[in-house]
Structure 1
Amino acid sequence: MTSLSVIVWAKQGCSYCEEVKDYLNEKRIAFQTIDVTDLDDRRDILEVKYGIRYVPVVEIGEDGIYKGVTDSGIDHLEKELAPYLVRK
């Protein structure tokens, strides 16, 4: 059985990051947070993976294969999570 893995790349003081985490908590979706506050090496990782340095970025994965949600707005996150939530 596979399990959903969600990673939120965020920084302190980011209202959009908090909105994403609040949404995931409301939906009872477990997630891990990677804090990029004052950590340029972590932003470098985002740049290599997605061509961006801003947060929030939400990575949704299963079986070690992840898709990054880089667009702002809960609607984008909901769309990418939908296939996983249907199977719950």
Structure 2
Amino acid sequence: MAKNFTIVVWAKDGCSYCAEVKEYLTEQQLDFKIVDVTNHDDYRDILELKYGVRHVPVVEIGRDHQYRAITEVGIENLQIVLQEANEVFN
């Protein structure tokens, strides 16, 4: 999958859903950055301001100040947004 966008995963230690997201992205050979919110409530404050959630995982996909966030749990939600990003940014 060609990629002309950035992926950022907000995650914490011990989160099985976070591990699932990271595993899926790795399997798809997609590079991603991690923002570890473990022991960083101020990072959760940022998520709340940006997206109205304090939970993880949150996945941001985009480029050039055009980002979409996946706040719903489930790989199927991530797959939909990745497909859309491929169509928009490639």
Q: TM-score, normalized by length of structure 1?
A: 0.91
Provide the rounded CA distance (Å) in 2 between the counterparts of 1:42 and 1:61.
20
The equivalent residue for 2:15 is 14
Q: Confirm or deny: 8 A CA contact 2:58 2:71 kept in the other structure.
A: yes
Aligned residues: 87
Secondary structure of 1:55's aligned partner: coil
Residue 27 of structure 1: aligned partner: 28
SS of 1:45 mapped into structure 2: helix
Contact kept? 1:3, 1:63, Cα under 8 Å: no
* CA distance in 2 between partners of 1:84 and 1:69 (Å): 12
Mapping of residues 65-84 of structure 1, within 5 Å? 65-84=66-85
Deviations 1:33-73 (A, max 9, x none): 00000101000000000111000000001222111100000
| Deviations 1:4-26 (CA, angstroms, capped at 9, x unpaired) | 10000000000100000000000
Tell me, in whole angstroms, the C-alpha distance in 2 between the residues paired with 1:51 and 1:84.
22
Identify unmatched segments of 5+ residues in structure 2: none
Counterpart of 1:63 in structure 2: which amino acid? D
5+ residue gaps, structure 1, are none
C-alpha contact (below 8 Å) 2:62/2:85 kept by paired residues? no
RMSD, matched Cα? 1.7
**Where does structure 1 differ by over 6 angstroms across 4 or more consecutive aligned residues?**
none
The equivalent residue for 1:64 is 65
TM-score in terms of structure 2 length: 0.89
Percent identical across equivalent pairs?
Answer: 51
